[in-house]
Amino acid sequence: MASIGSTISIGAVHEQTIKEAQVFSTATTTTHRHGKQLDAGALFVLKSKGSWWHSGFHLTTSIVAPPLLSLPFAFASLGWTAGVISLVVGAIVTFYSYNLISLVLEHHAELGNRHLRFRDMAYDILGPKWGKYYVGPIQFMVCYGAVVGNILLGGQCLKAIYILWNPNGTMKLYEFVIIFGILMLILAQIPSFHSLRHINLLSLILCLLYSACATAASIYIGSSSKGPHKNYSLSNNDETRIFGIFNAMAIIATTFGNGIIPEIQATLAPPVKGKMFKGLCVCYAVVTVTFFSVAVSGYWAFGNEAGGLILNNFLNEDGNPLVPRWFIMMTNIFTILQLSAVAVVYLQPTNEVLERAFSNPKSGEFSARNVIPRLVSRSMSVILATTIAAMLPFFGDINAMIGAFGFLPLDFVLPVVFFNLTFKPSKRSPIFWLNSTIAVVFSAVGVTAAVAAVRQISLDAKTYKLFANV
């Protein structure tokens, strides 16, 4: 009887332990710093339910995006040696920085203060003013700028398909931007970041597909008599060459940009330790395959004639395709589909802000009280982004400046600063000086890239026209 009683007692304790663990797990997803109740933005948009695989899908979509098709253009301003070195340095430094910021997030989570947003980290580590007046606004500007840029690029890809199908068509660019915006209007209603995991898995496959298509087409054209004469020389004009280098470095840095590492880590179910590193390994395996294959093959095939988007090089000066029409159309379709996934990922910080402002965390996520404001606010956000993209088809110039002011600080400078302030490594240690060097060097790169972007805007200003059909 004593044995039976002991068994019952042990079983009861075990059951109670499980219940306490479940309560703790639930509490970590419904409360924030020091037990404070989560706001609607964190509760509904940044649900902590994902696995490390899901973080890999989110990371890949946020980094491996169609802007990588501009890497051959960056190489055209740098040349072979500087281009390859810049790409390798960008990959190593961002992988390192993203792991540092993940370690900082894990450290604070273990202390019972899990940060779900970039501005939360800045608030606690740098102080309230940094989070409210610097990091928060910069992140919002970068992410919303990425949404506008992706909608514009989606419209341009739709127009490219239309011209291939109907060379004498009369539809304008802004009409295609609106069509892509309608697609975004639907996708924007997906309730949470975690809900995008299956879309982002498809996005990962799509980026591999269009990168493979771009690489294959470049190799085919470069190996045939149809391709242009290969010229890898740099500009003889010192000013043009110097600013071209700055601009190219900004393109490469922005291509590796993310800006939402804390929000992605927030989607992980606790405990989060080690999960982001695995997700980053998945992401950078895809980065290595896509970035290097497109950059090297595109620059090899077209040299210093590589366009801002390598897909444009698949047509000759008369607009005739250098590869089969169906192949170009297929590549554009893959690109368009992934652009929609990338845009909806970068909508999440905006959605979180809107949810926090207009939703009630005490009401159900899908109650009328929360669904109606969500539908209206997200729709207005997408309509505004689509309007900007249609009105300003030269937004790429502006986005370059946003990237210089935003992606470079968020992805290269702040992670190493956060690490040094959180873990306080000895000033004699290699990691302190490595982090300090990264912060200084990429702050300087950010300033020079911003100057180059402003210069490019001033040069292109004479061609700017609202609703231009470029």
More confident residue, 467 or 228: 228
The one-letter amino acid code at 57 reads F
Tokens of 254: 């922005």
More confident residue, 267 or 227: 267
Q: Is the peptide bond before 430 cis (omega within 30 degrees of 0)?
A: no
Q: Cα separations (Å) of 136 from 132, 277, 353, 377, 397?
A: 6, 25, 10, 19, 23
In this predicted structure, the answer to whether residue 101 has a pLDDT above a threshold of 70 is yes
Tell me what the mean pLDDT of segment 182-207 comes to.
Answer: 95
What CA dihedral angle connects 278, 284, 289 and 295, to 10 degrees? 180
More confident residue, 15 or 342: 342
Q: What secondary structure, in 3-state letters, does 194-243 show?
A: HHHHHHHHHHHHHHHHHHHHHHHHHHHHHHCCCCCCCCCCCCCCHHHHHH
Per-residue pLDDT, 455? 81
Class of the CATH domain delimited by 43-463: mainly alpha
Per-residue pLDDT, 396? 66
Tokens of 133: 């007046």
- As a whole-number percent, the residues of the chain with pLDDT over 70 amount to 90
Tell me what the mean pLDDT of segment 13-36 comes to.
Answer: 41
What span, in angstroms and rounded, lies between the C-alpha atoms of 443 and 84? 21
Per-residue pLDDT, 29? 40
Would you call 37 helix, strand, or coil by DSSP?
Answer: strand
Write the DSSP string, 156-181.
HHHHHHHHHH-TT----HHHHHHHHH
Per-residue model confidence as pLDDT tens digits over 195-225: 999 999 999 999 999 999 999 999 999 998 7
**What is residue 315's DSSP assignment?**
B
Per-residue model confidence as pLDDT tens digits over 402-426: 777 888 899 999 999 999 999 999 9
Per-residue pLDDT, 3? 39
